[in-house]
Amino acid sequence: MSKGIFYGIGVGPGDPDLLTVKAARVLKECDVVITPTKKMGTDSIAFNIVKPHIEDLSKCLEMNFPMISLSAEREKLEIQWKRNADEIEDLLNQGKDVAFITLGDPMVFSTYSYVMEYLLDREIEVVTLSGIPSFCNLAAQLNIPLTQGEESLGVVAMTQPIEEIRQILDAHKNIVVMKISANNQLMAEELEARGLEKSFVLVSNIGMETQKVVTDINVLKGKIPYLSTMLIKKDYPLFKD
């Protein structure tokens, strides 16, 4: 019996209509859909996005990916990734095609990429389907270009060391800050220190009913949802007063 194919499917940031035609087709045709979840028994955001595209929900299989710090608890995470890769490999060995759904794009800060690496090492056929990254949809929703002409774009996660974040902030005209809720108060201070308090926009829950746009630095200092992404534009009139 030939082995199944492992698909990584980017489902976009929130709006189910942003799934690619190819992703919708693979979700329909595959034998198993892996829905990664932080806590077993709770629907993941990615699952809620693809639900309208899956006729037979009984082929969905929940898989646990705990939300713990990569830098502090990498060993624990690696054990879980390997265990999950083993479970997926078993299904593929049974000749089943398995699709793994992931928020936004699979190659941007995604747990999928670690599982993919384990499976590639075992010479399994892996097909990754791009999804719309959260920051691209943020820009599109607000009609703000990410880059123009000769400009550069820096992408950083607020979980990185602050020295690295500062370097990116200083090096680029346009900066995307992901996982901003990890330390949004610190980012507010960094923006103020550079006179950029009016040069950012933060969007939470992009593409969902709860989507919220923030441009007030004082709101940035308060509590914000995990699904929040910031765009900093140094030379662009973001919003007229």
Ligand X SMILES: C[S@@+](CC[C@H](N)C(=O)[O-])C[C@H]1O[C@@H](n2cnc3c(N)ncnc32)[C@H](O)[C@@H]1O
Residues contributing to the site for ligand X (CB under 6 A): 13-14, 103-105, 108-110, 133-134, 178-180, 203-207, 226-229
What residues contact 164, with CB distance under 8 A and at least 6 apart?
156
The CB-of-171 to ligand X minimum distance in angstroms stands at 20
Q: What angle do CA 236, 240, 241 make, to 5 degrees?
A: 130
Spatial separation of the C-alpha atoms in residues 156 and 178, rounded to whole Å = 6
State the minimum distance, in angstroms, from the CB of residue 179 to ligand X: 4
Residue 184 or 199: the one with the smaller Cβ distance to ligand X is: 184
Task: Give the residue nearest to ligand X (CB).
Answer: 104
Closest CB to ligand X among residues 171, 213: 213
Cβ closest to ligand X, residue 109 vs residue 118: 109
Instruction: Enumerate residues 6+ apart whose C-beta is below 8 A from 105.
Output: 10, 130, 131, 132, 133
Q: Is the CB of residue 177 less than 8 Å from the CB of residue 205?
A: no
- Quote the least distance from Cβ 186 to ligand X, whole Å: 15
Q: Which is nearer to ligand X, 92 or 177 (CB)?
A: 177
> Which pairing describes strands 98-102 and 126-129: parallel, antiparallel, or unpaired?
unpaired
| Minimal distance, residue 204 CB to ligand X, in Å | 6
What minimum distance in Å lies between the beta carbon of 92 and ligand X? 23
- 68, two tokens: 């713990």
What is the closest distance, in whole angstroms, from the C-beta atom of residue 137 to ligand X in the complex?
A: 8
Helix spans in the chain (H): 21-29, 45-50, 74-93, 112-121, 134-142, 162-171, 184-193, 217-220
Nearer to ligand X, 92 or 180 (CB): 180
How far apart are alpha carbons 15 and 58 in whole angstroms?
A: 23
Closest CB to ligand X among residues 30, 156: 156
